[in-house]
Amino acid sequence: EIVLTQSPDTLSLSPGERATVSCRASQSVRGNYLAWHQQKPGQAPRLLISGASNRAPDIPDRFSGSGSETDFTLAISRLEPEDFAVYYCQQYGTSPWTFGQGTKVEI
Amino acid sequence: EVQLVESGGGLVQPGRSLRLSCATSGFTFDDYAMHWVRQPPGKGLEWVSGITWNSGTIAYADSVKGRFTVSRDNAKNSLHLQMNNLRPEDTAFYYCVKDRGPLHLGEFRFWGQGALVTVSA
């Protein structure tokens, strides 16, 4: 199975700053089928990005995804208070579908 | 509005069984593949099982293969997960998740709120 490794584990930033989360795959992700999900405390995850760079409906444009093959990035251009959460990358190019371990973006 | 509502969670002893259900609304259920994804409290996410729109393709994570069975009832817009021979490591929130389309694509478009299953003596 494809192992996804995110870095860093925790990102400590202030509102208004830029956040960058990395996701590295143990092998090439077929079709760049890489998604990013956001999870706030006590809530279910929510899809942010699919296909490495396509924002899901109603996701603000301060969220962007990039990358290909084995290296992917989620960027949040200017952090809003509601963006402090845990972010997971997930590949769906090769079954079984797998997730990264998560990156906590904290104040 | 898409809604996925899980039910059937609770406390169960090791070796016993439990059946989760997911009631859906707000979309044409039989147009979409569905999945179960779990998350141990305070930990990361793990895909458990997926089923295509017509139940033609069903897949399981190795960790649950032979113990869990996924099914769907398109007439009742519902998804189920029969969990047998439960182990303490199965303790987790179980999320019902809607795929992007009818096939087993793995693109997790919408998540339910989750049901907690606790396996303990």
Could A88 and B105 be called an inter-chain contact, meaning their C-beta atoms sit closer than 8 Å? no
pLDDT of residue B50: 96
For the stretch A73-94, pLDDT in tens is 999 999 999 999 999 999 999 9
Phi, psi of B118 (to 5 degrees): -120, 120
Strand partners, B23: B5, B78
Rounded to a whole number, what is the distance in Å from the CA of B79 to chain A's nearest CA?
Answer: 18
Q: What is the pLDDT averaged over residues A57-75?
A: 97
pLDDT of residue A65: 98
Band of pLDDT at residue A13, cut at 50, 70 and 90: very high
Query: Mind listing the pLDDT tens digit of every residue in chain B (121 residues)?
Result: 999 999 999 999 999 999 999 999 999 999 999 999 999 999 999 999 999 999 999 999 999 999 999 999 999 999 999 999 999 999 999 999 999 988 878 899 999 999 999 999 9
Neighboring chain B residues of A56 at a CB cutoff of 8 Å: 109
Is the CB of residue B23 less than 8 Å away from at least one CB of chain A? Answer: no
For the stretch A17-26, pLDDT in tens is 999 999 999 9
Is the CB of residue B106 less than 8 Å away from at least one CB of chain A? Answer: yes
For the stretch A31-50, pLDDT in tens is 999 999 999 999 999 999 99
Q: Which residue has the tokens 């409290």?
A: B41
pLDDT of residue A107: 85
Is the CB of residue B102 less than 8 Å away from at least one CB of chain A? Answer: no
Hey, what long-range contacts does A10-17 have (CB within 8 A, 24 or more apart)?
A: A10/A103, A10/A104, A10/A105, A10/A106, A11/A103, A11/A104, A11/A105, A11/A106, A12/A106, A12/A107, A13/A79, A13/A105, A13/A106, A13/A107, A14/A79, A14/A107, A15/A79, A15/A80, A15/A81, A15/A107, A16/A78, A16/A79, A17/A78, A17/A79
Could you tell me if residue A24 is left (phi over 0), alpha (psi between -120 and 50 degrees) or otherwise beta?
beta
Judged by DSSP in three states, B120 sits in coil
The minimal CB distance from B107 to the residues A35, A43, A88 is found for A35
- Is the four-CA dihedral B68, B114, A50, A14 of positive or negative sign? negative
CA nearest to A56 within chain B: B109
Report residue B36 as tokens.
Answer: 């179960």
